[in-house]
Each structure stands twice: as C-alpha cells, then as structure tokens.
Structure 1
Amino acid sequence: MRLLRAAAIVLTLMTSFAVPSAAQASTRSFVTRDGAQLRLNGKPFRFAGTNIYWLGLDENVGGIDYPTYFRIRDAIDTAKGMGMTVIRSHMLVSSGDPKTLLPSKEAGYNDAAFATIDYAIAYAGKAGLRLILPLTDNWAYYHGGHADFTKPYGLPESAFYTDPRVIADYQAYVWHVMQHVNPYTGKRYIDDPTIMAWELGNELEGMTPEWITTNAATFSGWAPRQLIAAGRRFDIDPDTLAAPDVDIVDVHYYPPTAARVRADAGTIAAAGKVYIAGEYASNAAGSALLDPLVADPNVTGMLSWSLFGHGDRNGFVQHDDGFSFHYPGDDARMIAANQAQIAYAKALGASVPARPAGTPLITAIDKRGGLNVLRWRGAAGADGYRVERAPTPLGPWKPAHSGLLSDNDTPWTDLTRPGNAWYRVVTAGIKSEPLFAGASETVLVDPLESFGLTSGHAGADIRPDGGHGGDKAWMSWAVAGLRRVRFDVSGGRHHDLAVQVSSDGTAWRTVASRVEHGAITASTPGAGHVRLVWNSRAVVTRATFWAADPHPVTGRPAAFDVVAPAAGATGVIGPQSFSWGASAGAGFYTLTVSRQPDLGSPVLSVTGIEGTSYVPARGLDPATTWYWGVRATNAAGSASTPVASFTTRALPSAPTVIDDFESYADSAALAAAYPRNPGGDVVTPTLTGGHAMQLDVTAGGAGYAGVTRTFSPIDLWGQQGIQLDLDRSATPASITIQFVANGVYWEYTLPAGTPSGRVRVPFTSFAQPPWAPTGALDLTRFTQLSIYLGGSDSGRLIVDNVAAYPV
C-alpha cells in the first residue's frame, strides 16, 4: 500500500481517530530516569510490554509493504487490552528496501515511509502507551540493518563501529528521523513524550566503547528529554554499563528464567542503569517467571516477543517464529502465557480495559455448496463472537450457532440455514453492521483501507483521517458476476459521484444510481468490472459488492469414498488422521466413527468439516475393529460413503531399547555419538565398565551441561514412558531428560538429591520447554535424546539401559 497525498481522499478509519490537540499533547509527561529506575510524573515507572516490530513496515502481507491503519490500531489496542504500557518496535529500523526510510545511500531518503510510522506513534500516544524504538539492527532482515551503512563503501559489517564515514551516515540518518515532524501531533519526534527511548540498535554484537559513548552522547544531546537504550543479544554488554549517556540496558532471553533476569537486573542496577528485558520468549510467560519479578524493583520492564493482531480480512496475522502470539490465544498454552502477562501487568499497577476495542466487520459472505460462509474481522481483545441471523435488517436476531466462536473459527459456514439471510457478528454487546446475502449470491466488503482489493485507481489516496474530493478521481474493482453495488459516503454532494461498469475493464459506461441512507447504490447485472468516479468533497468509507454464486448448487453432492484408513486396514496407529475423496458440490462433511457396523452409538462424530481430512484430538482404543463413514452435505441434500472398517494396532508388550551403550567400541565412538551442547559447561562422555555412559562435568558459568544423541526415527508408539539406570552418587545435580519426537521437544527434570537406581518417567510427565515451539506428542518418530546436568557443581553421572517401557 503506497500512501500518496493526492487529489481525492478515501477514508479508511471506521472509528474516528481524534488526535490530541497541541495543548493536550504538551501536558503529557516524559518518562525520566532516576539512577537505576524510571519515573513518570514523580512516581516509579515499571511496566509489562511487548514487541510489535512491524508497525511501520511489514513482511507478513504476501511481500514487504506498509501495514494498514486498521492493523496498526488493532495491534496497539490489543497491547493496551493486555495491560501493556510500553511497545518496542523496529518500525524505525528501516533501510535497504525500496519501501524503507532509507532505501540506499544513493537513493536518499524515502519520506513517504513515515506515513505509517507517524500514525503508529500518534495512535500509541492517544492510547497512552510509550515506545522504545531501535535505530538499526545487527541482522539483515527485511527492514534492513547496519550492513546497509557499510555496503556503499565496500566495507565489512564491523566497520559500522569504526569507519568515520559510516558513523557519519548513521548519525545523519538518525538526525533525519529524530527531526521529522509528525503531522498528526505537530511535533518533532524528539519532542514527543510517546517515544520513551531510542535504542542504538537491535542486538548489536560489535559495539565498541567509543562507538557507544559517542553515539549515546550525540543522540542524548539531540533528544535531551528522551532516554537512550543499548544492548546486545543474550547477555550484558559491559561497555553499555560504563557509557555515561546510556540510560537503559536491554537484555534478550530465549529462554528466560526468573533467576537469570533478577541476576542481570541486579548487575545493571548496581551500575546505575535501568534494566529491561527488551525481548523474552512469550511462550515462557508464566507465574514461575514473572511472579518473582514483581517484587524486584531492579526489573523495570519485561517485553515479550512478539504480538500480532487481526488480519485485514479475517482471523489473525500469522508469523511462525515459535514466539509470536495472538490474544486471547490460539491454544491453552498461549492463553495461559497471555494471562500470565496480564497478571504481571496488573501487579505492576496497569489497568485492563473491560471491553474490546473496535467493532467486528463482516468482510465477505461466500458460498460453498449453496451454504453461506462468513468471514469477519475481529475486535481487539474480544474473547469470542456470536454470529446472529435474521430475516430482515431489523430482526428478529437469533444465534446461528451454539456457544462462542473465536477469531480462528472464521471463515465460518452456516450449516443450518441456506437461502436469503441477514447476518451480524456480536462480541461483548458490540455489533457489526448487518449484511445481507441472497440464496444465490456472494458478498464482498472492501473497507477501503488499502488498494488490495481494487483493480485500479487514480487520484485516490488511503488516509486515516478523512479528506476531500478532487478532479476525476476513480477506483475500480473486478468482480465476476457482479449484480449490484453499494458505496457508503460521508459528506459532499452525492450527485457528483458516478457508478460505471465495464465488461473488459477498459470501456466504461455510467449506470443509473440512487442515494439511500447515506450511500450510493446501483444495479450492475452482468458486469465484471465496476468503478466509482467522483469530483466532490464526498468521502467514500466502504464498498460492498453482491455477485452471482460462481458454483451454484444443481443437486445433492456427488458420490465419493473413504481414503485412509483404507477399508480393511490393520495395525492402524491412532489413527492420526482420517481422509476421504472430495465430493463435487459438497458444502461440508460429517465424520462418524463407531464400534458398530451401522455407525450407531458413535465414539466420534464431527460435522462442519470443510476439507477432506480430519485430525482427531486423541487416538482410538488399540486392538479394536472400528467402522467409519463420511457424509457430504450441501443446500440440496447429502451423500454418504460406504461404511469402511479398520483395526487398530495392539499396544506393545516389551520395552523398546533406545540406547544400552553396548554398540560402542570405545569412548571415542561414544563421544562422537553424544556431542556436548556447546552453550553449556564442559562435559566429557566416556564408556565405563559394563558398557555404560559416564558423564564428567566441569562446572563453569553456564550452570548446566549436556550431551545429545540423534537417531534415525524410532517407533515408540504405545510405550508408556522412558526408563533408565542412573548412578547419581557422584553428582548433586538435577538431571533433565529431553527428547525430540516428530520435531517437537519434550523434557522432564529429576530434582537434585534423589537416589540412584532405575528411574521411570511416564510420557505424561514430560512437558514442552517454554523456549520451543508447541506441537503434539508423536512417538512414532523419536529422533533425539539429551541428558542434562544442572547446577554450578562439578560431578559425575553414569547412565545405562535407556529404554521405552510398556504398561
């Protein structure tokens, strides 16, 4: 989305953005530093926060582009809804790409990129949140980094900290950013108290004492009422502690522990600096991490990585780095982590809004098998949604389903009422505008927050704060089978707006239109293209298009059959999934599994399945014959597969050896099979008498030591846990058993001081570590075993006869 200030303006903001006046903004206080603490209005300022790195430029939109104003608002509102009071954002880490602030040294500055940054800063200020803004990055991600300053001179990245030309370019860039005047606030960035701190860069690994001191002093001189932050990746940079003008020292944690955070905070506070955890793995948030930090005044701020809000059309924006999160949460683990962050924020004095921010918006009603399929865009902080249906826009409105739906349930199919209907989406009493869909038509809603749905435009701009019309401005859309359109209009002279249609998108003709309730409507039968042309001060806020169902139902679904488990299959594990062939014309599928050939008294019955497969939450009883079938349904009727049977695999009766250490010729072979974790303390594996593994640990600063063996996949399905023989007589350490199954990590820790002997740990006792991505336990692909010793003492552990045991 390129933001151009041109003749005609299309309003994007569906809820008004009332920018504070200059007088109001000037009364807001800057956050100040008092030794190792921050203060706001004379009181200590501690905070829960999060990272929303993409606010100025995004990589999650099918390419690199500017986020819509809706997404900026929604993410900031979500952070506020969780009690966050500070956001850290890389939105000013913006170089090296044509859409960044500094595409290249040769191209110069691209001030058009400030549009989303300006808006995000102003909206964050309106919401009462503070910002920490890194100024460059150690890493060459899509938004650029310090290498963009060294490349023009053919220098290595390390020259960023030493070459005078590079340093001058970096400082000139920072000056350009800091001096920029935000049109929403009328303030230079350096005069805006919303910006709490400027960070010298994200995770800068090569900073020298001279570089830190010089730049911190320079930037502090330019922005004397704002703070300067600095830090590297996983530990404390000692040079930041000594730099006089560095106010905040930033440390990152993947994973975090309360002990490590408190120790680092103590070190930084002792040096007279403010401590923050600028990034920590969000999935590690919990009472064990955060509760001990509440009472520690040295811990000023904890900022999780990283928050994503709603998508422009439906659901949430996805970014799978293992640590991104949505609110309220996609699963039980994320929900618990989010609640822990909220509890931490509340414990530090933050308030949490009682109601969601924003209003749901139905963005499309599609057809599948003649049934209505709704997409809606959610409201920030909504716990759930109710889709309501009515025969008229005035009601009577009734729930179209039982219970509440989540943002992950859209698109949602109305399984029970094909035909004409009005719909609205409701959360916490907040109602979307009603939308009608006929029995044989689809609906597309464009909130005009980007040009993403348009096929062309001229003289039109996307702005969040309204605007004016101009000379010969137009926007067009390509919609197959278009029947009628509606353009919601605010202000201006409606008769200056014309609706035109075209069969090829080239030759246009004006069609009759009428004004109804602040909107222009027109019939467009048979047109594949439509455009709106205007020359007035009118502001168009939304476009809605009704079109013919591209796949109308002509009869009940076609015949189809089951695929897997195959009819008559034996030794089936789980099954891990059911699949079947596609039935032409199907709107949805219903899966039924039973012990009876007639599918009576089903143990599994799931309806509303859109695709041709289903993954059950748990496996079926072993050593049992099961019967199953699938029914396809559309608006005209249904069709079913023949009933098929399969038999599940019996549970194992004998242990499966993981490693008995009998196959190693000598200690060198053992050490090659079990390399140590290089991030931990020194541990040496040797083959000891009776062919067991002896682990000798030399204590160091890491506080743990471990070895790992990788296997070709071992099938441990049906086994109940892991057993191993341990001689712990020569070590006081806790012992962590960790394994990887189908790419997912699991671990369990045996406390220090427990006796030696045979140990059994059920698989139900293993948990996914907080630093690792989540996933289901799939024991059919066991690929890695690790043994870790924790603590700060040297010692010896002997391990033998590692196996998976049955019931």
Structure 2
Amino acid sequence: MKIVASFKLSAVLGALLMAPMAHAFDSFITRDGHRLIENGEEFRFAGIHAPELHRIEDDAKGVCSADPRGWGQYFKWPTADEQDNWIQSLVLTGHKAMRVYVLSVATPYDEACDRETHILAPESRDGMPRLNETAMVHYDRMIALSEKHGLRLILPFIDHWMWWGGREQLAAFYGENEDDFYDVNSKTYAAYLNIIEQVINRTNTITGRKYKDEKAIMAWETGNELKSSTEAFLTTTSAFIKANDSNHLVMDGTYLSINEFAKNDPNIDIISNHFYTVNHNNTPEQVKQDLKDINGKKVYFIGEFGLEPVSHLNSVMQSAVHSEYKGAKAAGAFIWGFRGRRHDGGFYWHKEGSSNVYSYHLPGFAEGYRNDEIAVVDVVRAAIAQMNGEIKAKPLPVPQAPVLRDIVTPNNLQWLGSPVGRWYRFERATQAEGPWQIIGDGISDGQNQFNPEVDVLFADPMPRERSKRYYYRVTAFNESGASAPSNIQSFPR
C-alpha cells in the first residue's frame, strides 16, 4: 500500500510541477570530431558532480546492518520539490550539463533495508530484468525537469561496483559470475542489452516522449567505471545503443586508461576518465596525457575527480579548461560530489569513507569549511565561466522565495530553501496581512551532517500567548539581493 500511494502521489506532483510543459532545448547535442556542438556552437561545461538526482542515499540514517556485504545504505526516492530544487540549484549556479549515477540493481537485502531499486529480478530464471515503474517515474521527472530548466544529462546504465547494485547483482539473477557481465555470450550480458533497450524506448510519463527523443539527454554512458571493458563488449554495446537510438551520443564508461579500440569505434562519441589519488592519476598532467592519447579522435570528458584540497582541485580544473592537444580540449569536467536540499529543510550529505571530505552544497556555505565548500564552488563557477569564454563568473541571481512547510511546532520551523539562497530572515505576525516582526535573521540551512530527526535549523525565540494564532513567513537572501517572502503558515493551524 505504501508503494502504491507513493507512486500515485509522485505522479500527481510531477504532473502539477510540469504544467505547463516548458521546452528549453531546440536540438540534440551533436559531435564534430573532438568537439560537442549545441546549435552550431561548441559546447563545453564544468561543475560539481550531482550523482543523486533520481535516487537518494540518506546518510543521516546510517548503515543498514541487514546487508551482509558489510555495507548497505538507506535509500529513498526524491520528492518532486526536491528534484526541482536540485536541478535549479545547478542551473542557477551556471551548470549546463550533469552526469548522474547508474540505474540501481536489486539485491536480496533490499526489503530488510527498506529500499527499492530501478532494476528488478526477472520473473523467471531465463527471463529478462524488469524496470521498477515506481523508480522510473522519478527518472522521468528528472529528465522532464532538466528539459524545463535547461540542463543536459549524461546517463550511465550499469555499475562495475556493487554500491547501488551493479554487474555482480545483475549476474546473480542468472547464477553467473560478475565477470560474465563483460562476456558478450553470457546471459548477464543479454540482460544488460535488454535493460538498455527498455530504457531507451521507455515513454516518459511526464513529457510523453520516448527517452530516445528527449533532448535533455546528451549522452548514454555504457556504465560507471566499467574498467574491464573489452573490444567485443564495447563494440557490441555501442552498436546496439546506436541501433536503438540515433539521436544521442554514446560514451565509453571505462576509466583509468584510454583504450585504442574505443578511439577507433565508429559508434563511440565520448571518451572519459575519472581521477582519484588512490588511482595515481589525479593530476593536471593526466588531462594533458589523455588528450594526447585520444589524439583528437573523440570528445574527451573528465567525469569525476576530487577528494583533495581546493588548491589541488583548482589545478586539475584549470588544466581541464585550458590544456590543448592539436586543437582538442576537454569538453567538460566534474568535481565529486554534490547533495541537495531536503523537502522539509536542511541538506542531504555524504562523507567519503575515512576521509574528511563531505559532499558539497550549493551555492556554498560556511558550515562546509572542512572541505572548503565555498572555495570549491568558486573554483567550479570560475571554470564554468571560462568554458563559456567569459572572464569571470556571473553574480548569482537573486533568490526565489523559499517554501515554508506546515508548522507542527514553532520550536522547529521547517522550510525548503531557495535554490541559490545563502541565508534567511524569519518574520512573525498576529494577522495574516501583518504587520511583520523579524524574529530571526542571517539564518542558514547549510548545516553539514544535518539529521532531521534531532537537528533544528531555526526555532521561534519570541514569547507566545497560548490563546493567540501566529503567522510566519521567511525570505531568502544572497549577495545579489532578497527574494519575495515565502508562503504564509500559521500556528496553531
């Protein structure tokens, strides 16, 4: 019952959010040799990688002990308000494109951990995997909102790793080994191609278009960090994608090396790499070496790099912006990684293993000092401007009005922050039309490691009379100005 109710609510919210339907794009992104092209102009981009625009890893809930892999997070689907806020946060800070994370694959432990996945086990041993309709509605909405707000998407299919369920979990459906994923004669590989076909030909429940006709999609990626890709695997997969979808570009989802067979594959448009210090490649020089290795045959893209101090991140990002080999430059680069606002206030967050690096929040907050959040956002916004041929980043737009949620208690006022809001002013009145009294100013929603079960971002500090009704509103601010006031909520209601 919960799943059905959630699906119906998501569909209603999605329909309301997307009406009237906006169309930000006139054309697909295409390739001209080593360049991406949008409406006849070169298309270059930079940003903070936002992997979870369609599925949320809720670190505040901790680790699920029912998952015997020694790892197991709690996941949930985003609300329509959350997805809209995240995508606007990206676009309003200058992002033009985004690569998200993979489609998740079912594990035997999902029910115990109260989580759902995109890909479900086949109904019979020899059958094909099924797409979870509940999950895919959120994927639909991600694409529709990206179209509405002007964000191009890079969408990878399956993961090499197990975190969200990947090739190992897919192979388990058929009693095969994780390495059988790369065997083009295996049942697992046949299932992988079937998933690709289902996804490309899916009809978006919000836009009414098949995915293969969605202009918000920039490229399909064979998968995430598919480092064991062979020539047969890549050749067969890329040809299959192009046979099903002639509109979109295809990206080789491997990393750590530039494979000769990828450079020569006529169906591969983009070659990417991921830089991390643990892999001994997180350097400005790696950008130059990759460009030299590709030799202008394909578009080059740095899908992920990070987990280092801001000065190091800036050196790699500047290399991505400026390095050139025979006229070819990187099309884009993303620093890992971003998490967005919660429906009822505060931010989702993620801590990277044993490191002291946390996910970044936009537009950047002092509370993220542990990993120089404001400085990293500035690095990214400068690179975005440079990729656009501009000298420096444009000022942030004035914030939109935040959304004040129903008040259960004035001791915990909850609001969905403005996509580029940095701080907030709370006001109270005894009548809906005012006059309004400021009860809190300079309030931030950027707390790191925010836990909605125990943390309070703002409480009404003023005395209240038990017999009176009070009205509240909140205004967002950033360095460019103030939003209009939010909606008004009362207590008692």
Question: Matches of 1:253 and 1:407 in 2, distance apart?
Answer: 28
Q: Is the 8 A contact 1:231 1:237 kept in 2?
A: no
> Is 1:364–2:407 an aligned residue pair?
yes
Please point out which of 277, 295, 306 is paired with 2:337.
Answer: 306
Q: Deviation digits for residues 237-266 of structure 1, max 9, x if unmatched?
A: 444233332111111112433222233233
Q: Is the 8 A contact 1:191 1:225 kept in 2?
A: yes
Number of residue pairs aligned between Structure 1 and Structure 2: 430
Could you say if the C-alpha distance between residues 43 and 64 of structure 1 is closer, same or farther in structure 2, counting changes exceeding 3 Å? same
Could you say if the C-alpha distance between residues 57 and 3 of structure 1 is closer, same or farther in structure 2, counting changes exceeding 3 Å? farther
Question: Matches of 1:6 and 1:324 in 2, distance apart?
Answer: 29
Question: Matches of 1:413 and 1:434 in 2, distance apart?
Answer: 16
Post-superposition shift, 1:14?
Answer: 11
Partner of 2:158: helix, strand, or coil? coil
Aligned to 1:293: 320
> Is 1:279–2:296 an aligned residue pair?
no
Question: Matches of 2:218 and 2:301 in 1, distance apart?
Answer: 13
Aligned to 1:148: 169
Q: Which amino acid aligns with 1:150?
A: A
> Is 1:392–2:403 an aligned residue pair?
no
Q: Deviation digits for residues 14-57 of structure 1, max 9, x if unmatched?
A: 98433537xx57x6211111111111111111011343222333
Partner of 1:374: helix, strand, or coil? coil
Q: Which structure has more RCO (C-alpha within 8 Å, separation ≥ 6)? A: 2
Please point out which of 430, 434, 440 is paired with 2:484.
Answer: 430
Aligned to 1:692: none
Post-superposition shift, 1:279?
Answer: 0.9
Aligned to 1:137: 159
Please point out which of 146, 161, 164 is paired with 2:182.
Answer: 161
Post-superposition shift, 1:59?
Answer: 2.7
Post-superposition shift, 1:378?
Answer: 1.1
Partner of 1:175: helix, strand, or coil? helix
Q: Deviation digits for residues 315-350 of structure 1, max 9, x if unmatched?
A: 111222235111123334101101111111122228
Question: Matches of 1:14 and 1:188 in 2, distance apart?
Answer: 17
Aligned to 2:251: 229
Please point out which of 123, 133, 140 is paired with 1:106.
Answer: 123
Within-5 A mapping of 1:452-471? none
Aligned to 1:381: 420
Question: Matches of 1:357 and 1:253 in 2, distance apart?
Answer: 35
Aligned to 1:45: 43
Q: Is the 8 A contact 1:422 1:436 kept in 2?
A: yes
Aligned to 2:100: 89
Partner of 1:277: helix, strand, or coil? strand
Could you say if the C-alpha distance between residues 282 and 223 of structure 1 is closer, same or farther in structure 2, counting changes exceeding 3 Å? farther
Question: Matches of 1:331 and 1:171 in 2, distance apart?
Answer: 41
Question: Percentage identity across aligned positions?
Answer: 28
Question: Matches of 1:200 and 1:14 in 2, distance apart?
Answer: 30
Question: Matches of 1:267 and 1:101 in 2, distance apart?
Answer: 36
Q: Deviation digits for residues 74-120 of structure 1, max 9, x if unmatched?
A: 11111112211111112534444573232112364133321101011
Please point out which of 85, 91, 95 is paired with 1:74.
Answer: 85
Aligned to 2:238: 216
Question: Matches of 1:14 and 1:284 in 2, distance apart?
Answer: 42
> Is 1:331–2:374 an aligned residue pair?
no
Could you say if the C-alpha distance between residues 358 and 179 of structure 1 is closer, same or farther in structure 2, counting changes exceeding 3 Å? farther
Could you say if the C-alpha distance between residues 295 and 394 of structure 1 is closer, same or farther in structure 2, counting changes exceeding 3 Å? same
Post-superposition shift, 1:191?
Answer: 1.2
Q: Which amino acid aligns with 2:21?
A: P
Q: Which amino acid aligns with 1:304?
A: I
Question: Matches of 1:381 and 1:197 in 2, distance apart?
Answer: 27
Partner of 2:237: helix, strand, or coil? helix
Could you say if the C-alpha distance between residues 7 and 192 of structure 1 is closer, same or farther in structure 2, counting changes exceeding 3 Å? closer
Could you say if the C-alpha distance between residues 316 and 138 of structure 1 is closer, same or farther in structure 2, counting changes exceeding 3 Å? same
Post-superposition shift, 1:352?
Answer: 6.8
Aligned to 1:581: none
Q: Which amino acid aligns with 2:387?
A: L
> Is 1:196–2:218 an aligned residue pair?
yes
For normalisation by structure 2, the TM-score amounts to 0.79
Could you say if the C-alpha distance between residues 289 and 336 of structure 1 is closer, same or farther in structure 2, counting changes exceeding 3 Å? same
Partner of 1:201: helix, strand, or coil? strand
Q: Which amino acid aligns with 2:322?
A: A
Question: Matches of 1:395 and 1:14 in 2, distance apart?
Answer: 34
Q: Is the 8 A contact 1:388 1:423 kept in 2?
A: yes
> Is 1:248–2:270 an aligned residue pair?
yes
Could you say if the C-alpha distance between residues 218 and 345 of structure 1 is closer, same or farther in structure 2, counting changes exceeding 3 Å? same
Could you say if the C-alpha distance between residues 236 and 324 of structure 1 is closer, same or farther in structure 2, counting changes exceeding 3 Å? farther
Q: Deviation digits for residues 475-520 of structure 1, max 9, x if unmatched?
A: xxxxxxxxxxxxxxxxxxxxxxxxxxxxxxxxxxxxxxxxxxxxxx
Could you say if the C-alpha distance between residues 227 and 90 of structure 1 is closer, same or farther in structure 2, counting changes exceeding 3 Å? same
State the superposition RMSD in angstroms. Answer: 2.9
Aligned to 1:417: 463
Could you say if the C-alpha distance between residues 306 and 8 of structure 1 is closer, same or farther in structure 2, counting changes exceeding 3 Å? closer
Question: Matches of 2:10 and 2:31 in 1, distance apart?
Answer: 43
Q: Is the 8 A contact 1:241 1:271 kept in 2?
A: no
Q: Deviation digits for residues 412-466 of structure 1, max 9, x if unmatched?
A: 133343445432111122212222335xxxxxxxxxxxxxxxxxxxxxxxxxxxx
Structure 2: unaligned runs, 5 residues or longer: 62-73, 448-454, 477-481
Bigger proportion of residues as strand: 1
Question: Matches of 2:351 and 2:426 in 1, distance apart?
Answer: 29
Q: Is the 8 A contact 1:75 1:307 kept in 2?
A: no
Partner of 2:37: helix, strand, or coil? strand
Q: Deviation digits for residues 337-390 of structure 1, max 9, x if unmatched?
A: 0111111112222867613346332343536xxxx4422221111021111122
Q: Deviation digits for residues 108-148 of structure 1, max 9, x if unmatched?
A: 41333211010110111111111111110001113x21123
Q: Is the 8 A contact 1:130 1:195 kept in 2?
A: yes
Q: Which amino acid aligns with 1:298?
A: K
> Is 1:267–2:293 an aligned residue pair?
yes
Aligned to 2:450: none
Q: Is the 8 A contact 1:358 1:380 kept in 2?
A: no
Please point out which of 27, 30, 33 is paired with 2:28.
Answer: 30
Question: Matches of 2:231 and 2:7 in 1, distance apart?
Answer: 47
Partner of 2:190: helix, strand, or coil? helix
Within-5 A mapping of 1:310-709? 310-321=341-352, 322-327=357-362, 328-329=364-365, 330-332=367-369, 333-349=372-388, 354-357=397-400, 359-366=402-409, 372-408=411-447, 410-419=456-465, 420=468, 421-427=470-476, 428-437=482-491, 546=493
Q: Which amino acid aligns with 2:36?
A: L
Aligned to 1:574: none
Q: Which amino acid aligns with 1:413?
A: A
Question: Matches of 2:5 and 2:462 in 1, distance apart?
Answer: 46
> Is 1:17–2:34 an aligned residue pair?
no
Post-superposition shift, 1:405?
Answer: 3.4
Question: Matches of 1:243 and 1:382 in 2, distance apart?
Answer: 45
Could you say if the C-alpha distance between residues 138 and 175 of structure 1 is closer, same or farther in structure 2, counting changes exceeding 3 Å? same
Could you say if the C-alpha distance between residues 67 and 196 of structure 1 is closer, same or farther in structure 2, counting changes exceeding 3 Å? same
Bigger proportion of residues as helix: 2
Partner of 1:431: helix, strand, or coil? coil
Question: Matches of 2:4 and 2:86 in 1, distance apart?
Answer: 20
Question: Matches of 2:445 and 2:297 in 1, distance apart?
Answer: 46
Could you say if the C-alpha distance between residues 194 and 93 of structure 1 is closer, same or farther in structure 2, counting changes exceeding 3 Å? farther
Using the TM superposition, name which of 333-342 and 236-245 deviates more. Answer: 236-245
> Is 1:184–2:206 an aligned residue pair?
yes
Q: Is the 8 A contact 2:100 2:153 kept in 1?
A: yes
Q: Deviation digits for residues 513-557 of structure 1, max 9, x if unmatched?
A: xxxxxxxxxxxxxxxxxxxxxxxxxxxxxxxxx5xxxxxxxxxxx
Question: Matches of 1:219 and 1:38 in 2, distance apart?
Answer: 19
Q: Which amino acid aligns with 1:307?
A: F
